[in-house]
Amino acid sequence: MQKSIIYVVLLIVCSFVFSSCSLFSSRYEKIEKGEFSISAIGKKKFSLNNVNGKVRVVRTTDQSTIIVKYEKTAYVRKKDLGTPLNEIKLNLDTMSADVKIETDIENEKNVIQFGSIRSNKVDYEIYIPDGIVLNVDNTNGSIDLTRLSNEIKASTENGSIKIDNVNGKMELETTNGSIKGSIDSTQGIRAETVNGSIKLNLSSRVSAKVNAEVVNGSVKIEGLNFKNSTDKKERRTFQGILGNGDAIIKLETTNGSIRLTGNDTNTEI
């Protein structure tokens, strides 16, 4: 009986040692770059679903084409360095008026890498013309939106969202990360984060009703001339009107601060 138990234990140990070769085996960085050129004629919506990596979206003056540049990064065994990068697949659907890209990333859960945690990822850079609704859904990574007038819905779970000179209607959401940027004019903003701050620099051209609310933190206003607002410089809730109040700006965070500044304020966003 005792010999049988010892035999079983030895089998388990041998199996663990064998699997450890995979667990602790070295991984090498493998990068693949590419580009999609998609006709924008007749397209109404562009949707991107990413898992790990950065997403940057920029306005293009070419109204006929959507350009998608990507950089895949995978960590593979040495013997796989010369083979096609099958660990990451980009599923592109352009058949209808809605363009869709789904990112399929294979991450080995049983691989241990010493010194750092490295995951396969895809970084995207997208050039999109006006008039196409933009939907970006990321899980682990930042979203950067630049010079856009499109209607936008952007969300990430672990990462920040940055906006620069975006005047279309926006819905921005992150769980663990900040939302920040500069607004010259807007058709409306709804921005929400759970663990992170919201910092927006608003130009004198912004005409909006502003509603800001924090649970654990404060709302701070600098260099902006609001109408129908409270006099306190710091508070947990704030309501006020800029200009004629044409658009709606609604900002919420649970754990963090909200800071709104004017163009003349000497501050970094």
pLDDT digits (tens, 9 = 90+) for 68-82: 999 999 998 888 888
Q: What pLDDT, on a 0 to 100 scale, did the predictor assign at position 10?
A: 47
Q: Residue 228 — very low, low, confident or very high, per pLDDT cuts 50/70/90?
A: confident
CA 43/CA 65 separation, integer angstroms: 10
Q: How confident is the model at residue 118 (pLDDT cuts 50, 70, 90)?
A: confident
Which of 8-22, 71-85, 113-127 is the least confident region?
8-22
Q: Which two tokens stand for residue 210?
A: 């502003």
What integer pLDDT is reported at residue 76 of this predicted model? 87
The pLDDT, as a whole number, for residue 213 is 96
Which of 182, 194, 191, 165 has its CA nearest to residue 255? 194
pTM, whole model, 2 decimals? 0.85
Rounded CA gap, 93 and 97, in Å? 10
What pLDDT is recorded for position 7?
Answer: 52
Dihedral pair phi/psi, residue 176, rounded to 5°? -120, 90
Instruction: Tell me the C-alpha distance between 189 and 128, whole Å.
Output: 20
What tokens does 48 get?
Answer: 């991107």
Is a pLDDT exceeding 80 seen at residue 238?
A: yes
Does residue 20 have a pLDDT over 80? no
Contact 187, 167 (CB under 8 A): yes
Which residues on neighbouring strands pair with residue 154, listed in sequence order? 136, 172
Residue 264's closest CA among 192, 207, 209, 182?
A: 182
* pLDDT (0 to 100) of residue 4: 56
**Strands in 77-169 per DSSP E:** 88-93, 98-105, 121-128, 133-140, 143-146, 152-158, 161-164
Q: Distance between CA 5 and CA 214 in Å, rounded?
A: 60
What number of residues does the chain have?
269
d(CA 181, CA 167): 12
Confidence of residue 95 (pLDDT cuts 50, 70, 90): very high
Segment 30-51 mean pLDDT: 97
Identify the pLDDT of residue 18: 42
What's the average model confidence in pLDDT over 39-50? 98
pLDDT at 265 (0 to 100): 52
pLDDT score of 266 more than 70: no
Q: Write the pLDDT tens digit of every residue in 188-226.
A: 999 999 999 999 999 999 999 999 999 999 999 999 999
Helices (H) and strands (E) in the chain, counts: 1, 21
Phi, psi of 12 (to 5 degrees): -65, -45
